Amino acid sequence: QVLYELPPPSEIPFLLEATGADYDESLPNTLEKADNYLSSEYHTALNLGIYSADIGYLASYEEVQPALNYMQAARSMANSLSLDNTLDEDLITRFERNLSSKDSLASIIDEVIENADVTLKKSKREKTAALILAGSYIEGLYLATAIIENYPKDVLPDAARATILVPVIKIVVDEEKT
């Protein structure tokens, strides 16, 4: 039941962008670590979820090339989990064709995770599916809390800063039940 209450991987990153919070390139997990996550199914699944949320974050802020680079890393992780059909070349091409449409990108990101979830459940790998979903959820919350914590205090007057941060804080608070 908890897994079904988790928001889709793109939801939190796209909500963050909609609040007006600035993009912070230091927040997504670095690509340099991607190969390290192929050491076990546990690490690969968890980090596939993390990279999915990061792709959502990058896409929502129109960071096109980094998002494509993360897609390639996610593809390697998906292949390592025998999920080749969920993140294939056609899907990456579709992602590239829709770079100007945030709604389409969000749908594609969510579709990848949903397809991986279905495939893993069919092959009786529910724990791996749960790890992917948990990774995307945790990363989404990490992105939100990092924006709150790191938002500059000296750039905007307090009222303007609050206008941006209150909706971000609401995103985190709304996840309390989950």
- What would the pLDDT profile of 135-150 be if each residue is shown by its tens digit? 988 998 899 888 888 8
Residue 5 predicted with pLDDT over 80: no
Band of pLDDT at residue 9, cut at 50, 70 and 90: low
3-state secondary structure of 35: helix
Residue 1 predicted with pLDDT over 60: no
- The confidence score (pLDDT) of residue 15 equals 75
Q: How far is CA 78 from CA 29, 68, 72, in A?
A: 17, 15, 10
Q: What is the mean pLDDT of residues 151-173?
A: 82
- The confidence score (pLDDT) of residue 3 equals 53
Distance of CA 85 to the CA centre of its chain: 19
Q: State the pTM of this model.
A: 0.86
- 69 vs 59: CA distance, rounded Å: 11
Nearest to 69 by CA among 107, 25, 101: 25
Share of the chain above pLDDT 70, in %: 94
Band of pLDDT at residue 45, cut at 50, 70 and 90: very high
The torsion region of residue 20 among left (phi > 0), alpha (psi -120 to 50) and beta comes to left
Q: How far is CA 86 from CA 29, 61, 95, 112, in A?
A: 22, 24, 13, 6
- The confidence score (pLDDT) of residue 149 equals 87
pLDDT digits (tens, 9 = 90+) for 73-110: 999 999 999 988 887 788 888 888 887 787 888 888 88
Residue 11 predicted with pLDDT over 70: yes
Which is more confident, 96 or 27? 27
Band of pLDDT at residue 163, cut at 50, 70 and 90: confident
